[in-house]
Structure 1
């Protein structure tokens, strides 16, 4: 009799467990059906407008960022240089040189094509919407390499909601653009060509070509005496230098040491721009539309 009561109790609890489990499944399915929605897709693949940029001379006055950094200290680059070279090598591989004979052979937003992969009428929150982008040049020919600077955005202005898409470069002229659907309602998708790959390559080369675009002038003060001296990340001079080391990043900044002035007497820094460009006229044309 005791065994019968125990068996009946176990059977009753098992039936209650099954009811609770089925109810959770139904609630879960109902919740998923509520999350399903329709998306209104409007594609825009266009070049961002770039207006001419004019560089003006400007001056700023700042105090040293790291006054506690050791002065006149000599740091061996044996540890930091290999790491920096490894990082720069990887970046160079990601942004290889892209010479072009004419602007017509560079990426054209107007001639490129976007395709929705496996389109459906409705999507659910949390699902992905994938687009395939095939880029072409101004002559309508498909590009055979990647490297274009693209910006993918999804937005719902009425909800004041927006999110970025993930762009995968296959390095053959095609890109996969993936949007994660985070909210319910209609969304607009935009895919902007910020810079063609040829422009990205030109900017990267110009960035690494020299550090003499900005003029740094340091002011040293000792009592009532004030002396101005040339400063910079790299100085082409045989004069005695003051070295100011950022101990965190192991990066150094230099100033020509004034006579009868200690290195710690550096108090202010002014900067101005040189009228210099490392871009050719043909490369500059990629940034003026």
Structure 2
């Protein structure tokens, strides 16, 4: 785990035992593709992936569990060899407006199992949805762990000008990530620390005014970090 300053957090920092730390590390570990993904057809297909109920019976008792196996396939109908897909599985009854989700267990070989509890009397249907393919999950992980500035802000500098006029300059600003910062390099920026939160802001240096003339921030443009191929994977 890492904090906002990109330093490693240990079990000691979190006040937990080494055993609990290992359990948490295992819980957040996510399988990755075993090959480089260069074609959209290699990603998991929600159309060709299937699920089946193990040992399906005509009737069940309240409190029993239904076992479901999910088999992931790519867009060429090939079986996936690795895990990491984000599936959701639930049991529901639309008439009763009742539903219950089950924990999806990743077997890291393209198959997943789910145990769904039957908590009500009456009919029930199984519903499985692919939220994100394993390929998309890796994209999300990449940008989660990066300091890519997804949101940009505007900084307003105001000060006296010639002949009793006022100068207003609006420049781009962003949060400073890490001790060295990664948004801008070199002597390009003004830095300002928020007294209340301790957050350090970096703003492009105004052309006419000094750094101490910053008066406020406002929300600016949003930037999509995804390249074209990554965007296409999200829409598969």
TM-score, with normalisation over the residues of structure 2?
A: 0.69
SS of structure 2 residue aligned to 1:153: strand
C-alpha distance in 2 between matches for 1:252 and 1:240? 10
CA contact (8 A) 1:222 1:261 kept: no
| Cα 1:185–1:103 shift into 2, 3 Å | same
C-alpha distance in 2 between matches for 1:92 and 1:125? 33
Match of 1:230 among 155, 168, 172: 172
How many Å apart are 1:181 and its aligned residue?
1.6
How many Å apart are 1:90 and its aligned residue?
7.8
C-alpha distance in 1 between matches for 2:147 and 2:27? 17
How many Å apart are 1:280 and its aligned residue?
3.9
Matched, 1:242 2:179: no
Higher mean displacement: 238-247 or 186-195: 238-247
C-alpha distance in 2 between matches for 1:252 and 1:177? 45
Match of 1:83 among 6, 9, 12: 9
C-alpha distance in 1 between matches for 2:212 and 2:47? 60
Q: Select the structure that is richer in helix.
A: 1
Aligned to 1:202: 139
CA contact (8 A) 1:202 1:279 kept: no
* Larger RCO, structure (CA 8 Å, separation 6 or more): 1
Aligned to 1:99: 36
How many Å apart are 1:186 and its aligned residue?
0.7
Unmatched 5+ stretches in structure 2: 14-20, 161-165, 177-182
Root-mean-square deviation (Å): 3.7
Aligned to 1:219: 156
Aligned to 1:110: 47
| Cα 1:260–1:137 shift into 2, 3 Å | closer
Aligned to 2:62: 125
SS of structure 1 residue aligned to 2:8: helix
Aligned to 1:165: 102
CA contact (8 A) 1:245 1:253 kept: no
C-alpha distance in 2 between matches for 1:245 and 1:150? 43
Matched, 1:269 2:211: no
How many Å apart are 1:255 and its aligned residue?
3.9
TM-score, with normalisation over the residues of structure 1?
A: 0.58
Deviations 1:98-121 (A, max 9, x none): 622322322223333322123333
| Bigger radius of gyration among the two | 1
CA contact (8 A) 2:193 2:200 kept: yes
Unmatched 5+ stretches in structure 1: 1-76
